[in-house]
Amino acid sequence: MITRDFIQIILFIVLLIGLTPVLGNYMFKVFNGKKHIMIPVLGWLEKLIYKFTGVNSGEEANWKTYTFGLLMFNLIGFVFVFLIQLFQAYLPLNPAHLTNVSWHSAFNTSVSFMTNTNWQGYAGETTMSYFVQMIGLTVQNFVSAATGIAVLLALIRGIARKTTDNLGNFWTDLTRSTLYVLLPLSILFSIVLVGQGVVQNFKTYETVQTLEGSQQIIPMGPAASQIAIKQLGTNGGGFFNANSAHPFENPTPLSNFLEMLAILLIPAALTFTYGKMVGSTRQGWTIFSVMLILLIAGLSISLYAEYAHNPIFGNLHLMEGKETRFGITNSVLWSTSTSAASNGSVNAMHDSLSPISGMIAMINIMLGEVIFGGVGAGLYGMVIFIILTVFIAGLMVGRTPEYLGKKINAFEVKMAIIAVLAPNIVILLFAAWASVIQPGLSSLNNSGPHGLSEILYAYSSAAGNNGSAFAGLNANTMFYNLTLGIGMLIGRFGIIIPVMAIAGSMGRKKITPLSAGTFRTDNSLFIILLIGVIIIIGGLTHFPALSLGPVVEHLLMNLGITF
Amino acid sequence: MSTKQNTSLFNKKILLQAAKDSVMKLNPALQVKNPVIFIVAIGSILTTIIVFVGIFQGNFSSFNLQICIWLWFTVLFANFSEAIAEGRGKAQAESLRKNRVQTKARKMDNKKEVSVYATELKKGDIVVCESGDVIPSDGEVIEGIASVDESAITGESAPVIRESGGDRSAVTGGTKVISDRILIRITSEQGNTFIDRMIALVEGAKRQKTPNEIALSILLSGLSIIFLLAVVTLPAFFSYSLSASGLPMSNNLTLPVLIALLVCLIPTTIGGLLSAIGISGMDRLLQRNVIATSGRAIEAAGDVDVLLLDKTGTITLGNRMATDFVPAENVSIEELADAAQFASLSDETPEGRSIVILAKEKFNIRGREVHQLNATFIPFTAQSRMSGVDYKTEEGTFHNIRKGSSEAIRTFVRNNNGFFPQNIQDVVNELARQGATPLVVAEDKRVLGVIHLKDIVKGGIKQRFAELRQMGIKTVMITGDNALTAAAIAAEAGVDDFMAEATPEDKLKRIREEQANGHLVGMIGDGTNDAPALAQADIGIAMNTGTQAAREAGNMVDLDSNPTKLIEVVEVGKQLLMTRGALTTFSIANDVAKYFAIIPAIAISLYSGKNGIGPLSALNVMNLGSPQSAILSAVIFNAIIIILLVPLALRGVHYRPVSANNALIRNLLIFGLGGIIAPFIGIKLIDILINL
């Protein structure tokens, strides 16, 4: 590593910290119906939407009604995206004349975009028409992110309010987060990206003659608009198969830097919004610190692993599959951010990371996608770990554990455990299944422990709603499309439903006032504890599987054996 | 009860009984109540079957047998911890039962006495008890007064007075009347009397899981499921790795090894000790002579953050004491002391006695022979509001000395054609402002001065309140005094707040207010008029001397009737929760070392060359002797640690009144960090022993 690399990383972190309160405060105003700068611009549209849909924006719902609305909305989105893929050949905006998508791939893709996973078993430019990409996938990119925010908002209200059933209005939350947060940021960001050279057109694919004299088809399309939201909404589904390693998605070092920052921007800012809404920005910064420390720790280990001497290349770095234009540091910074934030976009192939940095990417996902995590999802996932931490550690101060004045009882613990179990069940059971049966093994391109890592990564990615792939695994088979699709559903709603139940139960509780006997959740001791609990729960669950995948691969690499 | 005799943590009889009980508890119907240990029990059964099948098939594995034995020990040790906690309670229950021999009751039936068995008594029956009779059941004295020996339940041998009417009307079945005759109305159904409930509680027969225990059990079960998943999926990952290493599938993990791994990972330590911790919490309370009606109450005690404390008896000594004499102008202090002492000689009230003592201590005025002085003592009456002495001097003149409130004495001297000096009035006002009670002394028409009667704040109570404040507990003093006096005492005692001129309704209102603001309130009381507040409070401790109504309303009864007990109860509650948290942390932290013992052991052959030692042996950081000894050491450590921690579970973690943060740091260092390090050392030591 050279000085330039360090400067870039520091700049990245400083910008992230600096933007968090700015955007966080803006979102606080948006979600709480306060005056903000976008109301003069888009306020009429919000009113129009409510008038058109008949939503009474002031009417609040209990957790069951809120959740039901959310589930219905997602179900409709899923059915719509599923159908337009099945019939895309008959639909407009299909200049490349792409055929209808297979049913299992269509299932997988619509689940994937609805759940904010954006796992792509297909190659975008050779499978999906512009119509499906724009009307189906890009729309889901917005609303799946907005869904995550809505769940978080309901949870925050449950924590901050007392003795009430009201957790807000799902439709209002959905509209406001899309209209005032995701849309303006995406438009701004796509304009910047177009300025950097990202394509945005409806042209047919161009055929050019290469220097070698052969013919090459250059895909075109409305890429910039989808890339903006895929980064900002922690979606990650690339317009092109190569995702942000494709020069049309990510043309310059500046676009690369901004796209990386966009991955973490909203999840980070939401911690500030959280703090404001629960009445203590310290609480928000505490969570932010936990996330940042875990991110930097993962990044450091990955960078060390990539730059370390290895017996095969000596001091040469493992450049195969990396983002060769921007270098190792930018590949690793991206891989760490995208896996931590449940984004899933890539600018380098994770398959080509060193075993240890590949493992870090995998661990980032396995820990529950709480290191910034998905938009909304990362933070509500973090609250689950906070509940467990508060419960275990809170007992040690001699009081029934409480968080922000709310007592943590059996119901909350039960729901938190379900939320922790859901993704882990997917990862362990499906990966174990895939690693012993023919349909699972036949998709592998690599043998040895690396193959096991590919399988583990795929299911982690699905369960964590991340969407990035270790590549090297042909996932567009019926087996993988279905199991990964189911995995994504469990990983998404297996957390959302218990989180909503917790929100409902917390809202009904009284708030115990702060005293010297209260277990503090806004100091450095709590930061250490929370990090400890996240690592121990994730680590103990996945240590055996990881030791047979990346760990043994790393040890073998040091003996000069690769796969 | 046994509390006065020091019960040691273990004695031979209890240990033997517990050992027997831990085998009896293998009954699946009982075992299933503890999910974590139930998993171990199933593992033990499966391993046993495998061992026997192995013997029949002629490939006996001593490794499997050893795993099997230690798994059974794990179950037995967990049962043992519960049995020993129960055993201590059972010993206490036995001594209670001895007092509940089949007694005959003298039931009043239509004004006629009928002899019936105590067990036939119903709620509402009237019985009569005379000296020598054992009170047949719980009830309320409706007529008469008697002294009662309650040592059967309190362990206190001095008899107590029980009388109809007042706040001391409750009697307990099994106690003995030693003088006089009383009529008692039975207030409890048979089987639900105080002693019945005590026996049920200490035996743990009616023990239900408390809310926090349930929450913790869910967490432990959840963790167990996670580890179950991690273990059941391992053979699949192994089979992949075996085929990738070119090894035969027959090298895959055997069931005993998987079970061993599972048992090591699931939180058996806390799972095994959880019910022992709960029972011993109840037991610790009992040792302080407090009986809780449920485990839930003890837990809630740990959460209490507002304490309502009665001034008298809790914060101050029961009675006011004379601390000073302030003479009037032209009166020497000796003369005042002498007159005050003389006027108080026959005053049997504690205040009167304290005046005599003060006079003796300060001025060496000795007692005099009262009848030789031709003196007549005038006792205190509600009408006169003063007391004193009338005497005849040797010269034959009559004099009257009086002491009393300033108003009473003012009237007294005016009637004797005297006057009440302004400076005495000033002293009186000043003393009242300080929270003291001024008592004015006069002889005939002369006012001699003022006796300073003061509420004495108990020694060390201020320190206690400071500790409570550090723990985040607010103290509120309740008193019938006026606001001025209350404020002065509150300041001296260092309570956070006070309620002056408090009526029972005020108390109830205050509790409701605190609760509405999210506080949990603890209080202690005795009178019938305290009952609503006791019922409303989250922790209501009734004094054993109190009324039956109060005892029914509260969720704890303090047998010593000591108001400061409330503070100890809070401490026991906190200690109980801390012990659970600490052992949970310890249990989970232990897993790190167990992974480092077992994973390299089972994965040693993977991707190995000809020497059979694969790259994952690098994880064998403890350098354990062999794969078999590594697994065995982890299993043995896992079993033994339960037994080693039984004393801690019964005693509770060391408790100190410090802030939440300090308590957390301390417990984290000991049980978190210690929990990570201890098994590394323990497993290594066991491995060395095995490989000797």
Q: Which of B204-218, B381-395, B438-452 has the highest average model confidence (pLDDT)?
A: B438-452
Task: Please say if the pLDDT value at position A47 is more than 90.
Answer: yes
pLDDT mean over B23-44: 91
Query: What is d(CA B81, CA A186) in angstroms, rounded to the nearest whole number?
Result: 62
Mutation target vs B (from A356, A397, A455; most B CBs, 10 A cutoff): A397
Same domain, A149 and A255: yes
When computed from its CA atoms, the radius of gyration of chain A, rounded to whole angstroms, is: 23
**Phi, psi for A311 (deg, rounded to 5):** -65, -15
Closest residue in B to A560 (Cα) is B615
A396 with B238: Cβ contact below 8 A: no
Range with the lowest mean pLDDT among A498-512, B3-17, B437-451, B674-688? Answer: B3-17
Instruction: Give B278's contacts in chain A (Cβ within 8 Å).
Output: none
pLDDT at B3: 40
Q: What angle do CA A381, A386, A390 make, to 5 degrees?
A: 155
Kindly state the average pLDDT of the residues B154-165. 74
User: pLDDT tens digits for B671-684?
Assistant: 999 999 999 999 99
Q: Which range (A168-182, A392-406, B22-36, B423-437) has the least confidence? A: B423-437
Q: Which residues of B are catalytic?
A: 310
pLDDT of residue A527: 96
Interface test with A, best of B497, B607, B673 (most A CBs within 10 A): B607
pLDDT of residue B672: 92
Rounded to 5 degrees, what angle do the CA atoms B652, B655, B658 make? 155
For residue A423, give its domain range: 282-557
**pLDDT score of B300 more than 90:** no
Q: Which of B214, B233, B618 sits opposite A429 (nearest CB)?
A: B233
Of A410, A552, A561, the CB nearest to B211: A410
Choose, out of B214, B225, B226, the residue to mutate when testing the contact with A (most A CBs < 10 Å).
B226
In this structure, what token pair is assigned to residue B509?
Answer: 């209102």
Write out residues 634-663 of B within 8 Å (CB-CB) of A: 655, 659-661, 663
* Percent of chain B with pLDDT strictly greater than 90: 27
Mean pLDDT (whole number) for A181-208: 90
Can you give the pLDDT at residue A339?
A: 94
Q: Å from B537 to nearest chain A CA?
A: 16
User: Contact, B674 vs B587, CB < 8 A?
Assistant: no
Query: Does A17 fall in a domain?
Result: no
CA B406, B407, B408, B410 torsion-angle sign: positive
Chain B residues near residue A549 by CB distance under 8 angstroms: 237
Say yes or no to pLDDT of A217 above 70: yes
In a domain, A15, yes or no: no
C-beta atoms of B615 and A396 within 8 A = no
- Around Cβ A436, how many Cβ atoms within 10 Å? 16
Residue of A nearest to B655 (CA): A398
In this predicted model, which residue has the larger pLDDT, B645 or B300? B645
Q: State which H helix or E strand residue B376 sits in.
A: strand B375-378
Mean pLDDT of A282-288: 96
Nearest to A409 among B211, B300, B574 (CB): B211
Examine the fold and report which residue of A247, A270, A293 is the final residue of a domain before the chain moves on: A270
Residues A351 and A480 grouped into a single domain: yes
Assign A85 a pLDDT band (cuts: 50, 70, 90).
very high
pLDDT tens by residue, B585-595? 999 999 999 99
Let me know whether A42 and A146 are in one domain: yes
Helices B333-344 and B350-363, interaxial angle, to 10°? Answer: 140
In a domain, A233, yes or no: yes
How far is the alpha carbon of B133 from chain A, nearest alpha carbon, in Å? 45
Strand partners, A222: A200
pLDDT reported for residue A321 = 74
* Among chain A residues, CA nearest to B583: A396
Distance (Å) from the alpha carbon of A328 to chain B's nearest alpha carbon: 27
Query: Per-residue pLDDT averaged across A267-271, rounded?
Result: 97
Q: Please tell me which of the candidates A405, A424, A552 has its beta carbon nearest to residue B518.
A: A405
pLDDT tens readout for residues B548-578: 777 778 888 887 777 677 778 888 888 999 9
pLDDT at B203: 66
Please determine, for residue A207, whether its predicted confidence score (pLDDT) is greater than 90.
no
CA distance A491 to A495: 7
Within 13 Å, how many C-alpha atoms sit on residue B328's CB side? 20
Do both A517 and A382 map to the same domain? yes
Residues A249 and A305 in one domain: no
* A365 is a domain residue: yes
| Residue B369, pLDDT score | 58
Q: Note whether B660 contacts A447, CB cutoff 8 Å.
A: no
Residue at a domain's end among A245, A270, A295: A270
The stretch A270-283 carries a mean pLDDT of: 96
Shared domain check, A294 and A262: no
A132 in a structural domain: yes
Domain boundary among A270, A291, A324: A270
Does the pLDDT at position B101 exceed 60?
no
* Residue in A418, A512, A545 closest to B237 by CB: A545
Residue B534: CB atoms within 10 Å: 28
Residue B210 pLDDT > 80, yes or no? yes
Instruction: State the ipTM, two decimals.
Output: 0.92
Find the CB nearest A417 among B222, B577, B614.
B222
Is the pTM higher than 0.90? The answer reads no
Q: At what angle do helices A281-307 and A253-278 cross, to 10 degrees?
A: 150
The rounded distance, in Å, linking the Cα atoms of B40 and A151 is: 39
Contact indicator for A148, A177 with CB cutoff of 8 Å = no
Examine the domain organization and report whether A116 and A163 are in the same domain: yes
When mean pLDDT is compared across A173-182, B644-653, B657-666, the lowest value belongs to: B657-666
Lowest mean pLDDT among A24-28, B481-485, B618-622: B481-485
Residue A367: is its pLDDT beyond 50? yes
pLDDT at A386 over 50: yes
- What is the amino acid identity at position B215? A
The region of weakest confidence among A305-309, A332-336, B291-295 is B291-295
Q: Residue A443: pLDDT above 90? A: no
Residue B130 tokens read as 């005379």
Confidence of residue B166 (pLDDT cuts 50, 70, 90): low
Q: Is B145 left (phi over 0), alpha (psi -120 to 50) or beta?
A: beta
Task: Convert the pLDDT of each residue in A324-349 to its tens digit.
Answer: 788 889 999 999 999 999 898 888 88
- The residue-averaged pLDDT of B498-503 equals 84
Does the distance separating the beta carbons of A431 and B237 come in below 8 Å?
Answer: yes
- Does B607 contact A394 at a Cβ distance shorter than 8 Å? no
A354 and A254 both lie in a single domain:
no
Instruction: Please enumerate in sequence order all residues whose Cβ is within 8 A of that of B655, keeping only pairs 6 or more positions apart, or say none.
Output: A398, B571, B574, B575, B578
Best B217, B239, B241, B621 member to test A by mutation, with max A CBs in 10 Å, is: B241
A263 lies in the same domain as A286? no
Q: B442: part of which helix (H) or strand (E)?
A: strand B437-443
Whether the per-residue pLDDT at B413 is higher than 50: the answer is yes
In a domain, A184, yes or no: yes
Considering its fold, how many domains does chain A have in total? 2
Partner residue facing A399 (CB), from B214, B221, B577 = B577
Instruction: Tell me the pLDDT of chain A averaged across its residues.
Output: 91
The two three-digit tokens of residue A426, written as one number: 């997917």
Least confident of A83-92, A252-261, B396-405, B617-626: B396-405
pLDDT above 50: residue B270: yes
* Chain A interface includes B518 (CB < 8 A): yes
- Do A401 and A468 fall into the same domain? yes
Residue A127 has pLDDT above 50, yes or no: yes
**Strand-strand pairing, B145-149 and B160-163:** antiparallel
What percent of chain B has a predicted confidence (pLDDT) above 70? 93
Indicate yes or no: CB of A513 within 8 angstroms of CB of B616.
Answer: no
CB–CB contact B226 A556 (8 Å) = no
| Predicted pLDDT at A479 | 94
The answer on A262 and A288 residing in a single domain is no
Task: Return the bridge partners of B310, or none.
Answer: B478
Per-residue confidence band for B662, with pLDDT thresholds at 50, 70 and 90:
confident
Residue B207, classed as helix, strand or coil, is coil
The answer to whether residue A215 is domain-embedded is yes
Both structure tokens of B174: 């099994």
Give the per-residue pLDDT at B358.
87
Specify the residue for token string 């277990």: A519
Residue in chain B closest to A558 (alpha carbons) equals B615
DSSP state of B529: G
Give the mean pLDDT of B151-180.
Answer: 76
**Is residue A261 domain-shared with residue A326, that is, in the same domain?**
no
pLDDT above 80 (res A414):
yes
Mean pLDDT computed over A26-48: 93
CB-based contact (8 Å) between B21 and chain A? no
Residues in Cβ contact with B123 at an 8 Å cutoff, skipping those fewer than 6 apart? B186, B187, B188, B189
Q: Do B585 and A396 touch (CB under 8 A)?
A: yes
Question: What's the pLDDT at B373?
Answer: 65
Residue B375: which pLDDT band, with cuts at 50, 70 and 90?
confident
Q: Which residue of B has its CA nearest to A398?
A: B574
Minimal C-alpha gap between B26 and chain A (Å) = 27
Nearest Cα of chain A lies from the Cα of B600 at a distance, in angstroms, of 9
Residue A3 maps to a domain: no
